[in-house]
Amino acid sequence: MPKEKIEEIKKQLADLKKRWPAHSVPPAMMAQLDDLETALSQEMNAHNALSEVLDIESRVFEVRAIGRVENAFDEPAPPEDIRSCESTIILDPHLAEGLQGLEKENRIMVVFYFHRSEGYDLLQHPRGDESRPKRGVFALCSPRRPNPIGVTVVDLLGIQDNILRVRGLDAINGTPVLDLKPAG
């Protein structure tokens, strides 16, 4: 819609300029030209801002794993089962200095990549339970999402060098860890 409006304003400006040579434009017409040029500028700015927002879809973001999860779950399992067990996060040793300030008994947020997830549906049964009504993917913690990223707040049980022991993580063995953040 904004594109059509821009074209319409441009056409009006061209029509007015054709009718009146630049040196003989009456003051009332000059005001109308100024108003149209202002409207054109505003529409083009709005169109450019909208284009930037919509262009996010086409952008590719580069993210790299900073570590991986190790635990006893090689296959997906109910999240509560995985969360009840201890997991280890093996951080890239070059990033270990970034753990400074974290202490045992802190709660941290673990951002990870659902590396085994394929595809998504915008409407899904919670936890795949067909007896429950479908909900939007953004109202669920499903790994089957447009960007398969998970976030879980965990209890930090201990840190030794680049290795963190945590409880409450619902990611399986081998899951790439993307980031760690303080939780609150």
* pLDDT of res. 29: 66
Encode pLDDT of 33-85 as tens digits: 777 777 767 776 666 665 665 566 666 778 899 999 999 999 988 889 999 99
- Which region among 51-60, 143-152, 158-167 has the lowest average model confidence (pLDDT)? 51-60
Q: Report the alpha-carbon angle 177-180-184, nearest 5.
A: 145
Residue appearing with tokens 């879809």: 57
Please check the confidence at residue 28 and state whether its pLDDT lies above 80. no
Instruction: Give pLDDT, residue 49.
Output: 61
Q: Decide if pLDDT at 167 tops 90.
A: yes
Cα(169)–Cα(159) distance, rounded to whole angstroms? 15
Please give the residue that has the higher pLDDT: either 83 or 17.
Answer: 83
Closest to 88 in 3D by CA, of 107, 73, 68: 68
Could you give the angle at the alpha carbon of 119 between the alpha carbons of 117 and 124, nearest 5°?
95
